[in-house]
Amino acid sequence: MIIHKEGRTLLFVLLIILVAINGAVYYFAPESTMTQNFLIFASVLFYTVILQFFRSPIFVIEKDHKYVLAPADGKVVVIEETEETEYLKSRRKQISIFMSPINVHVNRMPVGGTISYFKYHPGKYLVAWHPKSSTENERTTVVTKMKNGTEILFRQIAGALARRIKWYVKEGDTLEQGQEFGFIKFGSRVDIFLPLNAVVKVKIGDITKGGRTVIAEIN
């Protein structure tokens, strides 16, 4: 387990601020032991919460071109057939994974291949489980073309708290299955659009692990 690069500067600055606040209370109110103890407890608790948010687990990714891996840690909230209108412009099976603030927020490639399309969309900040969040919220759209020619589309979607989407890909890049492609800060959602013949391996309410949980099989 390591600290993700997106959180290192924030955590360093936050540590300095919390130490300064606690030091000031100790200096100006040396006799207020109860206040000092409460502030120390609150500071440690707050820092631990932020620290765990930026954790990035290290593990071996078992690659298999037949399988689609979960792009994120979270909970499956949508499994449905829908029309993808931005790029694929066809009927697809959609799987959506909601990422709460306590989940690991690293986003990983569900399949390996070449990035054939990428676009960033500014937008609203509806709660991530809102039906319109997929098309109206701030989001990115990434399409990966696999070696067999199949294209898989997935979106990073900002939520009410998540107002910082980070991505590390561009059109023409080639990435491996499970490789990190982005990060979303403080709660979010990832949608993935699969061919209609894909066999879904999860159900509503299932908990996923990014880069580890098989969410579908492509025939």
Parse the chain into domains and list their residue ranges. 2-56, 67-217
Whether 32 is a known active-site residue: answer no
Longest dimension (CA), the chain: 71
* CA 15/CA 20 separation, integer angstroms: 8
Percent of the chain with pLDDT over 70: 90
pLDDT band at 130 (very low <50, low <70, confident <90, very high): low
Identify the active-site residue in 96, 133, 134, 188.
188
Domain 67-217 fold is Glucose Permease (Domain IIA) (2.70.70)
- Whole-model pTM: value is 0.81
pLDDT at 109: 95
Give the mean pLDDT of the chain.
87
Q: Average pLDDT, stretch 140-166? A: 86
pLDDT higher for 84 or 124? Answer: 84
Q: Average pLDDT, stretch 29-57? A: 84
| Other beta carbons less than 10 A from residue 53's beta carbon | 20
